[in-house]
Structures are given as C-alpha cells and as structure tokens.
Structure 1
Amino acid sequence: MERNRLTFKLKRELTRSAPDLWDGIAAGVAALVAETLLRELDAVPSADGKLFAELKDASMTEAFKRNRGA
C-alpha cells in the first residue's frame, strides 16, 4: 500500500513540476512492463502463477459450458 501511495505521489509531483516529461516517462515504464510480460510469456507459465490459474479457470469454464449444453 505504501508503494502505491508513493508512486502516485511521485506521479503527481512529476506531472506538476515537469508536465512535458511525464508522457515520456509513462511510455518508458509501459515499454519496460510490456517487455517483462513478453519475456515471462515466452516460457511455459508457472503452475504457481496468476496466468496459469486464469488459463485453468477459463478452460474449466469453457468445458462446463460445453458439457452443460450437451
């Protein structure tokens, strides 16, 4: 929670003091996040990870729908 509060405080301060720089900062952060996610998705998802759980839930929901309609 503290991390989020500090992040928003930093964003507010940067936006106020250097509004012309914020778009570049946001784009740089977005690129880093996208790069990290793509690197993680390049491998088989960890069974302990959120992505694996979401994929499993989605496939179970689809299987339930198919079986229910049969």
Structure 2
Amino acid sequence: MSETARRAGVSPQYLSEMERGLKEPSSEMIAAVAGALDVTLIDLTLAVADSLRSAQSDVSRGATCSAAYALAA
C-alpha cells in the first residue's frame, strides 16, 4: 500500500482512510489513485458499480430470507 500511496502522492494513512470510506476524496485524488494502480477511471468506476450491485443483491436476498422466516413463524 505504501508504494501505491507514494505513486498517488498521498500518505499511506490517507489512502487507508479512503479505502475504508473515512475520507471523501476529490475527483483529482481518485484519478491519482487510479493512475497509481494502473487502472483507468472507467475501469475503476465499473468495478465499483459491480461491487455495489453485488452488495445490493446480497441485501435483497437477505431481506427475502428474513421475510420468509417471519412468515413461517
């Protein structure tokens, strides 16, 4: 992580906080991190969108299972 932070021009702590959602980076900072990771902004955006879709799908399935158990009781 420290190599990625160095290449992006941020501290490892700041990068870690970005990863954990504790910082809201500017678009320039996101572009710098994407460049440091050797990915394009579009690839990064698509990966985030896929991750969010997957998480939403998991939540939806969990809600359906909970509702089914509540109905069975």
TM-score category, normalised to shorter length: 0.3 to 0.5
Q: Tell me which structure has the larger Cα radius of gyration.
A: 1
TM-score, normalised on structure 2?
0.40
Q: Which has the higher contact order (CA 8 A, sep 6+)?
A: 2
TM, length-normalised to structure 1: 0.42
